[in-house]
Amino acid sequence: MNAYKISLFFVWTYLLLDTAEGIPFSLCEYIINGSTCETTCQYEVRHQWGIPLCMNGEKCCLPSYLVPRLRPRTTTTTTAAPDMEPILESTCGRGRPLSRIRRVIGGQRSQQGAWPWQVAIRHFTGLYLCGGVVIRHRWVLTAAHCFQGQTDARHLRVYAGDQTLSFERNGRSKTKNIRRIIQHDDFRSNVAENITDPRTGLASLIRRHHHDIALVELEEPLVYNERLSPACLPNPNQVTAPLAPNSCWVYGWGEDNNRQEGPIAHLSEVNGDMLHSNECSRRWGANFTDDVVCFTTGDRGPCKGDSGGGMTCTYGNDVSVLEGIISWGREDCIHDDHPSVMTRVASYIEWINSFINQ
């Protein structure tokens, strides 16, 4: 069989999701007139994002009338550009700090490479679900609630090495298949809890996540460069110096200041302060345990769509340490005196290491 393959770039919308659920449906015949699903092909048509075009493991075969038009491709070797030199595995937490200190609080657009560990978790159709953080070549840390109703790893992808959620920017090369999803055993979603607002004294009911953390293992290891590298995990046994004001950052593709519905195209960032669980509890009028921390800026912060992304803090040596995973906050995304709640990564280091060090 001739191993020559071609790639197609095609954008599928919710039609695919609605049509494919519970009904045998192949995309192959809709891509090119005359293409069919077979067990073997002379020339195979593949989707640029890895979306399966046929069912039951069959291949989408190019129709015979198009075969004469194809010509063998030549292979060339190229040298990586200077800003894409490989990064050593031992290096973590190195973004582009000079691009960040020019940013101001309020949800500004991030510069490319500022947060090289931030990834997007997407459905195989390209639909954005959540953020995530690279911590090892094969491992991404995210929020467990991102996978409610979406636990089949075959249907999900990790989009890495680009801060722009674009269907046109080398989507296939930056989209990685997932081997498995590991939610924390004690994860519970939307648990009802009574709180008393410390400002007004009024009682109300909130719903929050418990042990909201998950690991994503990739099929193939990531190759690090200046646009893709891991964040540093915290050392729970190490005493760190106090953080300077506004030295923690959150970032994501969630709704922006203009109340745009759904994810935005470019990664946004905002800096602020990390609050430990006791201060976070006081501001919410709740009783949080020490497995959470909070992020506050006064009036800015994460919103819908930012879940699963990281909160990293810089401890004087310009190394970013992953202190929190974005979990939940006010439904209306108004932060005022109700800071965004994060899963405290340091509380789960033993759990994380039990998988990534296997």
Active site residue 137: no
| Count of other CB atoms within 10 angstroms of residue 217 | 17
Long-range CB contacts (within 8 A, 24+) of 63-72? 63/32, 63/33, 63/34, 63/35, 63/36, 64/34, 65/34, 66/32, 66/34, 67/42, 67/43, 70/4, 70/6, 70/43, 72/4
Catalytic residue among 110, 162, 210, 212: 212
Side-chain-facing half-sphere of 259: CA atoms under 13 Å: 4
HEC profile for 269-300? EEEEEEECHHHHHHHHCCCCCCCEEEEECCCC
Q: What is the DSSP letter of 79?
A: P
The residue from 47, 145, 209, 335 that is catalytic is 145
User: Which CA distances in Å does 317 have to 184, 258, 313?
Assistant: 32, 35, 11
In the chain, the amino acid numbered 17 is L
- Three-class SS state of 234: coil
Q: Would residue 34 be called left, alpha or beta, if left means φ above 0 and alpha means ψ between -120 and 50 degrees?
A: left
Residue 65, SS3? helix
Q: What is the DSSP letter of 228?
A: B
Helix (H, G, I), strand (E, B) or coil at 95: coil
Catalytic residue among 307, 320, 340, 347: 307
Please count the other Cβ atoms lying within 10 Å of the Cβ belonging to residue 6. 13
Task: Determine the pLDDT at residue 257.
Answer: 53
What is the pLDDT tens value at each position of the chain, 358 positions in all?
Answer: 443 333 333 333 333 333 333 445 567 766 666 678 888 887 788 775 667 888 777 888 877 655 544 443 333 333 333 333 333 445 788 875 433 332 223 456 777 778 999 999 988 888 888 999 999 999 999 999 999 877 789 999 999 988 777 655 445 568 899 999 999 999 999 888 888 888 888 888 888 899 999 999 999 999 998 889 999 999 877 666 667 888 899 888 866 554 455 556 678 888 888 999 999 999 888 889 899 998 888 665 566 667 899 999 987 677 889 999 999 877 666 656 788 899 999 999 999 999 999 8
Contact of 301 with 307, CB cutoff 8 Å: no
Please confirm, yes or no, whether 307 is among the known catalytic residues.
yes
User: Which amino acid type is present at position 357?
Assistant: N
* Residue whose pair of structure tokens reads 């990293």 in the numeric block: 312
**Is residue 332 among the annotated active site residues?**
no
